[in-house]
Amino acid sequence: MNTSKLLSFEKLHNIRDLGGMKAADGRSIVNGRLVRCGNLSELSENDRDMFAAMTDTVIDFRSDGERREKPDLEIPGIRYLHVPIVDSLTAGITREAAADREVFVRFGAEPDKARQYMCDMYHVFANSDMATAQYGVFIRLLMQQSKKAFVWHCTAGKDRAGVGSVIIEEILGVPRDDIINDYLMTNEYLHEEIAFLTEFVKRQAGTDSFVSDEALGYLFGAKQDYIEEYYHTIDGKYGSFDCFIRDGLKLSEEDVLKLQFLYLIP
């Protein structure tokens, strides 16, 4: 399967190397240079050593509130860059405690509304001038020379980090079906965490409803409807993903070729 590889850390979940994914022209993404993950607030000593050996740059997509609640555990020698994709508490996307409470109040008994809400958020990722500009900043950071991996993350590593991965995979020419499959792998890698979050929120709300399981599954999981909404919105606003790269992210043909030179090998 043409997907990213899960890396073995003790306390880092959903940390994946895009290396080895194949582009449509037969080239492959170089190993150990493009890594996505979730929360970096808790690392074991072994994790710290492995992480420091792997990367010298961390790009944090989270809101100010998330960073205050669970700051990255900083390691000497690594630079930490804040590139927030959304600028406010957003239920189901940002993971502040207040957002978790809002999730259940708004959608705990209405799975269809929870699913539509998440589709709407992916519409925002594609349509928002702020999100587009910030993803442009992210891609330009990847154009810098480095012998180590660039690591980008949000809280769960599924939505904001997932869209960031979709964008760089598109730029590098990974086939669309493989990009979507890679996005959906989050459900496998976060299965235990999604189950834990679902039970935690239900306990907080004092319910054991199966309807809540379904609603929270939509909020905490990665669904094909979401990423298809993202692509549909991109196509509607820009005409195609290539036009989004050019007109939205403001990347020139030379920029795209540079990224492909940096991250693709025969």
Q: What pLDDT score was predicted for residue 241?
A: 98
Report whether pLDDT(92) > 50.
no
Q: Which residue has the higher pLDDT, 50 or 192?
A: 50
Quickly state the pLDDT bin for 57 (edges 50, 70, 90): very high
Considering the segment(s) 5-265 as one domain, its CATH architecture is Alpha-Beta Complex (3.90)
Quickly state the pLDDT bin for 96 (edges 50, 70, 90): very low
Task: Count the alpha carbons within 13 Å of 34 in the hemisphere toward its beta carbon.
Answer: 29
pLDDT exceeding 90 applies to what percent of the chain? Answer: 70
Report whether pLDDT(195) > 70.
no
Q: Which parts of the chain fold into alpha helices (H)?
A: 45-54, 64-69, 97-107, 111-127, 129-142, 160-171, 176-184, 186-189, 191-205, 210-220, 224-238, 241-243, 253-263
| Domain spans in the chain, listed from the N-terminal domain onward | 5-265
Tokens found for residue 1: 């399967």
User: Minimal CA–CA distance to 141: which of 49, 16, 33?
Assistant: 33
Q: What pLDDT score was predicted for residue 202?
A: 58
Q: Are 53 and 34 in contact (CB under 8 A)?
A: no
DSSP symbol at 74: -
DSSP symbol at 3: -
The one-letter amino acid code at 82 reads: H
Tokens found for residue 136: 């442009």
Q: Which residue has the higher pLDDT, 71 or 216?
A: 71
Q: How far is CA 85 from CA 73, 99, 124, 131, 172, in A?
A: 20, 16, 10, 5, 22
> What mean pLDDT is predicted for residues 58-71?
91
Residues 6+ apart with CB under 8 A from 199: none
Residues 6+ apart with CB under 8 A from 263: 29, 30, 33, 34, 142, 168, 172
Quickly state the pLDDT bin for 61 (edges 50, 70, 90): very high
> What mean pLDDT is predicted for residues 164-168?
98
Residue-averaged pLDDT of the chain: 89
Quickly state the pLDDT bin for 107 (edges 50, 70, 90): confident
- The sign of the dihedral angle between the CA atoms of 103, 96, 59, 22 is negative
Tokens found for residue 102: 């809002």
Q: Are 240 and 126 in contact (CB under 8 A)?
A: no
CA torsion 150-153-156-162 (nearest 10°) is -80
Tokens found for residue 72: 């990255």
Quickly state the pLDDT bin for 91 (edges 50, 70, 90): very low
Longest dimension (CA), the chain: 56
Q: What pLDDT score was predicted for residue 255?
A: 98
Report whether pLDDT(200) > 80.
no
Q: Which residue has the higher pLDDT, 1 or 18?
A: 18
Q: What is the pTM of this model?
A: 0.92
Q: Note every long-range contact of 201-210, with CB atoms under 8 Å and residues 24 or more positions apart, other chains counting.
A: 201/100, 201/103, 201/104, 201/108, 202/104, 204/100, 204/101, 204/104, 205/104, 205/108, 207/108, 209/108, 209/109
DSSP symbol at 22: B
> What mean pLDDT is predicted for residues 19-48?
96
pLDDT (tens digit, 9 = 90+) per residue, 220-233?
899 999 999 999 99
